Amino acid sequence: MGNRNGGRWMGEINGHTVLFLFFGILTCLFSLAVVFSANVVRMAFYLILALAATSGLHFLAGADFVGTMQLVLYVGGTLVLLVFGVMLTAQNPFISLRTAGGDWIVAALVGGILLVILVPVAFQIGLPPQDAGDIEGLTQREAVASSEPVSVPTATRIGLGLLGVPGDDVSGYLLPFEIISIHLLVVLVGAAYLARAKRKVVVRQESQNIAGS
């Protein structure tokens, strides 16, 4: 497609596009690497990179607060947890669990169909609506996109939105926010309950087992 458009895309390309391509391609590549890697530690590593690149995309989309949250919570919190889990269970036989060939075929089929459905939808949505307002929409979009990608402050508005103060482009979210916080508490308690000490084991038996095995 590059050749077909020739000099045209050279003119349209800008810093934003370059950065988007960088992060987008990284995201896609590492997502696929997660799928195709068999070693679970490497999978975790690729996932980290994929999600970090996603946060870059968030920044590019002007969602700086979400991007940082992605880094703090997702990459710095959830994934560390995940890596912990990987390391706790990373016994040699489980580091690389091979997938059966049949599974691959079915998964590729399902994935392919999903992709075939999703991508055209993406193109349809991305197209400017046919009926009206396209002059304004397109030009503004180009104007914005071709300028330097500045970070638009969103933290305050998001914060107010979470506190239930509706803004001009944000609704009040006090109730979901509270529900989420209760949910989080419940989940933490539940997770601690699930992973808590519950088996009583006589040490000597254990050491004998180890000696025997």
Partner 1 sequence: MSQYLISHWGWYPPLVYTLMAMLAASLVLLVIAGGSVVFIWMERKVAGRIQDRLGPTRVGGKFGWLQTIADGIKLLSKEDLRPEGADAMLFRIAPYVAFCASYGSFIALPFATGWVGLDINVAVFFVVAVLGLEVFGVILAGYASASKWSLFGAMREAAQVISYEVPLGLCIVIPVMIAGTMDLTKIGNLQSGWFTNWYLFHDPFTFITFFVYYTCALASVNRAPFDLAEAESELVAGFHTEYSGLRWSFFFMAEYGSMFLVSALGSILFLGGWNGPVPVAAWIFGEHASQLSGFAFVLANVLGLMAFILKAVLGVTVMMWIRWTLPRLRIDQVITTCWKYCTPIAAVMFVGVISWQLMGLPNGGDVLPHHEQGSRRLPGSLRERPFETGDALPSANSVGFESEHGEQERGQVDG
Partner 2 sequence: MFDLLSQPVGLTHYLIVGAVMFVAGAVCMATKRNALGVLMGIELVLNGANLNFVAFGSNFLERNPAYQLGLDGQIISLFVIVLAAAEAAVALAIVLNFYNNHSTVDVDRADELKG
Partner 3 sequence: MSTTEEKSSENKVVEFDVRTDEMLVNMGPQHPSTHGVLRLVLRTDGEVVSEVTPHLGYLHRCAEKIGENLTPRQWIPYTDRMDYLAGMSMNLGWSLCVEKLMNLHVPEKARHLRVIIAEMQRIASHLVGMGAYGLDLGSFSPFLYAFRERERILDLFEEACGARLTYSYLTVGGATADLPTGWLQKCEAFLDQFLPVIDEYHALLTTNSIFIKRCAGIGVMSAEMATSYGCSGPVLRGSGVDLDLRRDGEEWYTNMYDGYAFEVIVEKDGHYPNDHVYPGVPPEAVLGDCWHRFYVRMLEVRQAIDLVRQAIDRYSAATDSYGEPVKLNEKLPKGEAYLETEAPRGQMGFYVVSDGSAIPYRARARSSCFCNLSVTSELCRNTLIADIPAIVGSLDIVMGEIDR
Do 30 and 50 meet the contact criterion of CB atoms below 8 Å apart?
yes
* 71 vs 75: CA distance, rounded Å: 5
- Looking up tokens 């992709």, which residue turns up? 115
**Window 93 to 152, contacts with partner 2 (CB under 8 A):** 93-94, 97-99, 103-104, 106-108, 110-111, 114-115, 118-119, 121-123, 125-129, 133, 136-137, 140-142, 144-146, 152
Closest CB 204 distance from partner 2, rounded Å: 19
Query: Which candidate, 31, 35, 39, places its Cα nearest to that of 97?
Result: 39
Cα–Cα distance list, 135 to 9, 13, 44, 122, 143 (Å): 20, 20, 45, 21, 12
Total residues in contact with partner 3, by rule CB under 8 A = 14
Residues 6+ apart with CB under 8 A from 63: 154
Q: Considering only the stretches 41-49, 66-74, 143-151, 193-201, report the one whose residues sit in contact with partner 3 under the rule CB under 8 A.
A: 193-201
- Which run of H or of E encompasses 37? none
Closest CB 202 distance from partner 2, rounded Å: 16
Whose Cβ is closer to partner 1: residue 72's or residue 114's? 72
* 117 vs 213: CA distance, rounded Å: 52
Whose Cβ is closer to partner 2: residue 143's or residue 211's? 143
Contact residue for partner 3 among 88, 116, 121, 132 (CB under 8 A):
88
Do 44 and 82 meet the contact criterion of CB atoms below 8 Å apart?
yes
Residues 6+ apart with CB under 8 A from 86: 40, 41, 44
Binding pattern to partner 2, positions 20-59, x when CB under 8 A? x---x--xx--xx-xx----x--xx--x--xx--x--xx-
Whose Cβ is closer to partner 1: residue 81's or residue 107's? 81
Q: Which does 27 bind (CB under 5 to 8 A by kind): partner 2, partner 1, partner 3, none?
A: partner 2
Contact residue for partner 2 among 163, 174, 176, 207 (CB under 8 A):
176
Do 186 and 53 meet the contact criterion of CB atoms below 8 Å apart?
no
Whose Cβ is closer to partner 3: residue 100's or residue 201's? 201
Q: Which does 164 bind (CB under 5 to 8 A by kind): partner 3, partner 1, partner 2, none?
A: none
What residues make contact with partner 3 under the rule CB under 8 A? 88, 91, 195-204, 207, 210
